[in-house]
């Protein structure tokens, strides 16, 4: 064999060796990405709809890739069983009450499974365990809702366009406010009135606050009425006395009304004097007769004093009265009401 053939054989062998090395490296790399050469445990989950999930897609746990989809099989009537290969080293972090849900890497990306770890009170999963499955969001339903929202947005845009058109044309109250200067001025006046009313309200609030501060002052009557027991007791006594005075006034008023009623009654003596004219005339006649009788009696008494039989008696009585006045010079002689002193001159004058 010539040297040229030997050289060509060596070159082919070298390229063949490099190709074999590249092939082996690629196999190990792909196996590492697919978790083929790593010890794993198997977990299953039952879904109603896998939403396009495929064998070999990734399994994520807390944002970390922990396994791949081993197989997808139909289960029961219309469900799907998904078998997952999970790295053995993360088995201790996944609990038996964990759940699996289908997600996607992007809006239109590949589907994958995301495992939520459960609670620390539950035991870690074991090889062959089945975890709960959460139904994924249906993309068709999502697109239908988006379509409905799009239609609603179009309707809202049309209504807003119509509204702005009416505003520009000056239709409606708001449009009139935008185009009618008179109404705009009235609106400004109304706002000014509201502002003045607000200022008045603030002023009234301040006055009320000052008034309440005065009421809360320790020297104020209101505070003493609330806190000072002595003032309260005095006020209570005053109210009691006022009630008694009111009751007495009511009683006096009732008595006056009764007396007035009796005065107006023609059956009583005073009522007869006030109301009966005939009785008044009779009483007047009686008084006149009495006066006439008194004059006559005065004349009779004067005649008796001048009578020689009784003249000594009257002189003796006069001397006794003069003697009593001399014995009691400092005391004013008070003539008893029952004693009768006849004074002809007085009676005569009457």
Ranges of each domain in the chain:
34-142, 216-275, 277-329+340-345
Cα dist from 275 to 158, 266, 271, whole Å: 100, 6, 6
Question: Could you read off the pLDDT tens digit of each residue along the chain, which spans 350 residues?
Answer: 567 777 778 788 888 888 888 887 777 676 555 555 568 899 999 998 887 888 988 999 988 899 999 999 998 888 999 999 999 888 889 999 999 998 887 666 688 899 987 888 889 999 989 999 987 766 667 778 888 888 899 889 888 888 887 777 767 666 666 666 777 777 788 888 888 898 889 888 888 888 777 766 666 666 666 666 776 777 788 888 888 888 888 888 888 888 777 766 666 666 666 666 777 777 778 888 888 888 877 777 777 767 666 667 777 777 888 888 887 755 444 444 444 444 444 333 33
Least Cα distance to 97 among 132, 59, 139, 68 occurs for 132
What are the backbone dihedrals phi and psi of residue 85, each rounded to the nearest 5 degrees, phi first? -95, 120
pLDDT at 222: 64
Distance CA 58, CA 33 (A): 10
What number of other Cβ atoms are within 10 A of residue 193's Cβ?
10
What number of other Cβ atoms are within 10 A of residue 136's Cβ?
19
pLDDT at 343: 44
Least Cα distance to 103 among 66, 134, 78 occurs for 134
85, 67 contact by CB (below 8 A): yes
Distance CA 108, CA 60 (A): 18
Distance CA 27, CA 32 (A): 8
346, 299 contact by CB (below 8 A): no
pLDDT at 188: 82
pLDDT at 274: 65
pLDDT at 120: 86
What are the backbone dihedrals phi and psi of residue 204, each rounded to the nearest 5 degrees, phi first? -65, -40
Give the full edge-to-edge strand order of the sheet including 64-75.
40-47, 79-87, 64-75, 58-61, 111-116, 99-104, 132-134
């Amino acid at each position: 064999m010539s040297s040229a053939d030997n050289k060509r054989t060596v070159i082919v062998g070298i390229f063949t060796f490099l190709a074999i090395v590249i092939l082996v490296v690629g196999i190990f790399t792909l196996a590492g990405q697919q978790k083929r050469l790593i010890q794993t445990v198997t977990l299953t989950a039952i879904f109603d709809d896998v939403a396009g999930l495929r064998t070999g897609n990734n399994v994520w746990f807390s944002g970390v890739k922990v396994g791949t989809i081993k197989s997808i099989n139909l289960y029961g009537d219309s469900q799907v069983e998904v078998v997952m290969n999970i790295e053995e080293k993360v088995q201790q972090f996944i609990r038996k009450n964990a759940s699996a849900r289908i997600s996607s890497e992007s809006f239109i990306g590949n589907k994958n499974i995301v495992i939520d770890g459960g609670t620390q009170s539950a035991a870690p999963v074991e090889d062959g365990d089945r975890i709960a499955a959460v139904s994924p969001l249906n993309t068709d339903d999502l697109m239908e809702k988006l379509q409905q929202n799009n239609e609603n947005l179009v309707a809202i845009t049309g209504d807003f366009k119509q509204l702005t058109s009416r505003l520009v044309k000056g239709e409606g109250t708001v449009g009139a406010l935008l185009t009618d200067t008179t109404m705009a001025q009235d609106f400004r006046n109304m706002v000014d009135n509201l502002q003045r009313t607000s200022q008045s309200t603030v002023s009234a609030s301040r006055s009320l606050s000052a008034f309440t501060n005065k009421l809360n002052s320790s020297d104020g009557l209101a505070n003493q009425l609330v806190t000072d027991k002595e003032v309260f007791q005095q006020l209570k006594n005053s109210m009691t006395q006022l009630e008694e005075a009111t009751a007495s006034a009511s009683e006096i008023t009732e008595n006056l009304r009764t007396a007035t009623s009796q005065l107006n009654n023609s059956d009583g003596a005073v009522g007869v004097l006030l109301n009966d004219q005939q009785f008044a005339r009779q009483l007047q006649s009686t008084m006149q007769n009495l006066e006439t009788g008194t004059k006559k009696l005065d004349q009779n008494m004067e005649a008796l004093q001048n009578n020689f039989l009784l003249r000594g008696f009257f002189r003796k009585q006069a001397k006794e009265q003069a003697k009593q006045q001399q014995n009691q010079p400092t005391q004013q002689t008070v003539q008893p009401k029952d004693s009768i002193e006849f004074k002809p001159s007085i009676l005569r004058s009457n």
